[in-house]
Structure 1
Amino acid sequence: MPDRSAPPTWLVGKPGLTALVLLSSLLALFVLLPYLQFILFGVVLAYILFPVQQRAEQHVRPTIAAIVIVLGALLFVLIPIIYLLTIAVQQSLRVVSAVRNGQIDVASIEELLESTGYRIDLVALYESNQERIATSLQEVTSGAIDLAGSLPGLFIGLTITLFVLFALLRDGEQLVAWVQWVLPVDEDILDELREGLDQLMWASVVGNVAVAAIQAALLGVGLAIAGLPAVIFLTVVTFVLTLLPLVGAFGVWVPAAMYLLAVGRPIASAAIAVYGLLVTFSDTYLRPALIGRTGAFNSAIIVIGIFGGLVVFGAVGLFIGPVVLGGAKLVLDCFAREHTGEPTA
């Protein structure tokens, strides 16, 4: 029978201290869990804004620079996002009401399809599934509201986000150095993990979220010019769909073009179709231009990470989820290499 490897000396030599560390870490985790998504949101904002902090520190003290950046993030990022999401929820509720009241002209769409040779009884199909469609839309809206939480909880959470952002901007480098000092891991492995996580964050925040935001904004402008109803809601939906591989803005501009054609606006329909194609194909140029330095994710990690992240971390899971999955693979690769002595695939 092969000999078992001896446990680490820090575990055998000071078991009481080890137990105390584990207990205190567990208690700290319980304290952090209620507002974990807001803490993670602060971490993501700090990652994005840290280069701005470094440049500002060349002119003013770190504390002053961090305060100015936090105020800027509040005025130009958080408040506009909350305002847009509020409008999107209101518009989605109006869409639910329109579906329930039968205000959508399905007959015109059916006539349009028949003129192209497709005979589908959309009226009967719509009437039989009208309540299901409305219920599904309402569940999505209610889910978005639940992710945000109640108004007092949202206020407390955003306050925590701002304080986390301030602390990380001012003392982020010291915190990273402390974490590397505390963890019982070799420095070369920690450096590798730090570099890998930096690439994962860059790919998730810039490569996925920023590209989705740009495409959603571009399509939203086009929809507004074309006179589509519930533009803010459609823009938010575009943002979410563009995060997913093989889906993208098609899921919004194709139905929008069909709607315009059904209401007797063929020129606007054709314009939205052409413009939507341009927005969709812009991904080919935007993603390499913004990422350029990493191909950190595959489709499975993105899709599972987004949906799993939403469930576990809330709204911030849209970009934290893929990072968690990618980071887990990175850690397991380092672990396997250290214990087998073979390079990872």
Structure 2
Amino acid sequence: MATEQGARRVFIGLILLSIALVGLIARPFFEAFFLAAVLAGAFNGLQNWLTRRFRGRQGLAAGVIVVGIIVALLSPIAALTAFIVSEVIKGVNFITGVINQRGLEGLLAYVPQALREPAARMLDRFQTESASVWQIVQEHVSAQGAAAAQTVGGVVMATGSVAIQLAMMLIALYFLLVDGEKLVAWVESVSPLRRGQTTELLTEFRRVTHSVLTSTLLTAGVQATLALVGFLITRVPVPVFFAAVSFFFALIPAVGAAMVCVIAALLLLATGHPAMAIFLAAWGIFVVGLSDNVVKPLLAKRGMNMHGALVFFSLLGGLAVFGAIGLLLGPLILAFFLSVVRIYERDYGRPNEHPGAPPTPPTSNSPTLAEGEEWEDSGAHAQHASEEARSH
């Protein structure tokens, strides 16, 4: 017959096995579920407010938040795509019109002076070898057809993977907004920690994620403003649009707002403004780009119980280890460590450090109460003897 201790060990092993299996099936969507949990914690206040506005209909409130996030994600992409397509169409129409009126030589008048001579040589070579150009292009395309197909297939698969992760994140976010409080209560009830400790850790996580998300949005706004200043100084066309694109790219860690400044600098260089192009590229790299490393830690530490240096290195370390999602995971891991240490020190620290602990017993070198009384009596006796001596 199995003992109680043996059954407990077996059951603990079964629990650990079930946790490992659940982690295994959730691994493909880890980033989606993690981002959903982060956004659910960040939008918890808005969810409660909308629920009260909609008379207790949590599903409707969660749906409004999810739709708002979808619009916020798709609007910048749609605007950028429309702008690029319109500019490409304008460029094609301009080139076609110049060629129809002046021929290929007419395009040289619109090439910057520094690039005009190489462009003329390329044009002469194209005119002399125009008979075999199409054949060379066909051969090159045939030779590289398989590689091009693989590249296009990889891009399509990557795009589909991102779309699937985004869809899973939005679905998980909806259910977490609706039943998140019930989930937290269940985790608190089954947690082996003391009552309130699990909720305290989850509250700390929500506070850190809210601080990181807020600092990320504010930092993107600061970078977009700095980029707009550079665009206005260098007279980039449609500077407000480029500033909006800079805000969107500032939210992408691997790209950043500095990339938009560099692209705009290349446009200035191509239109014959080398001095402005150099200034804008330097402004984007050293002012816009580096401001992220200064502004974000300063803004993030205001909502965390951390030193600014800890926030800075947790952001960089998380980015280096986990990629873009490390900007959230890095501060969360450090906040988890500090919270666990703080709870342990408060609830399991030395007994003498607790407010209700008994006082420390006196040492052998310190006087006791009885000894103090004896010293007080001996002092009074000596004073009485001296008074008698003076009377005699």
Is the TM value for this pair above 0.5? yes
RMSD after superposition: 4.8
- Offset, 1:240: 5.2
Aligned with residue 308 of structure 1, among 292, 316, 321: 321
Aligned to 1:28: 22
Aligned to 1:318: 327
1:298–1:65 CA distance, 2 compared to 1 (3 A): closer
State yes or no: 1:167 paired with 2:167.
no
Aligned to 1:45: 39
Report 1:319-338 matches (<5 A).
319-335=328-344
Aligned to 1:298: 311
- Offset, 1:26: 0.8
Q: 1:58 aligns to what SS in structure 2? A: helix
In structure 2, what is the Cα distance between the partners aligned to 1:81 and 1:340?
52
In structure 1, what is the Cα distance between the partners aligned to 2:342 and 2:162?
38
Report the TM-score, using the length of structure 2 for normalisation.
Answer: 0.53
Q: 1:150 aligns to what SS in structure 2? A: helix
Deviations 1:56-82 (A, max 9, x none): 1112211111122212222223x2466
Aligned to 1:181: 189
In structure 2, what is the Cα distance between the partners aligned to 1:51 and 1:173?
12
Q: What percentage of residue pairs aligned between the two structures are identical?
A: 24
In structure 1, what is the Cα distance between the partners aligned to 2:262 and 2:328?
26
1:84–1:291 CA distance, 2 compared to 1 (3 A): farther
In structure 2, what is the Cα distance between the partners aligned to 1:328 and 1:85?
41
Report 1:276-291 matches (<5 A).
none
Structure 1 runs not aligned, ≥5 long: 1-9, 91-104, 109-141
Structure 2 runs not aligned, ≥5 long: 86-111, 116-150, 354-392
Report 1:201-216 matches (<5 A).
201-207=209-215, 209-216=216-223
State yes or no: 1:62 paired with 2:58.
yes
Deviations 1:169-226 (A, max 9, x none): 111111111111111001243343233223321222212x222321343345454862
State yes or no: 1:19 paired with 2:29.
no
* Equivalent residues of 1:216, 1:239 under 8 A apart: no
Larger radius of gyration: 2
Equivalent pairs counted in the alignment come to 273
Q: 1:184 aligns to what SS in structure 2? A: coil
Deviations 1:3-60 (A, max 9, x none): xxxxxxx976622322221111111100110111111121222222222211111122
In structure 2, what is the Cα distance between the partners aligned to 1:323 and 1:211?
19
In structure 2, what is the Cα distance between the partners aligned to 1:323 and 1:85?
33
Report the TM-score, using the length of structure 1 for normalisation.
Answer: 0.60
* Equivalent residues of 1:216, 1:236 under 8 A apart: no
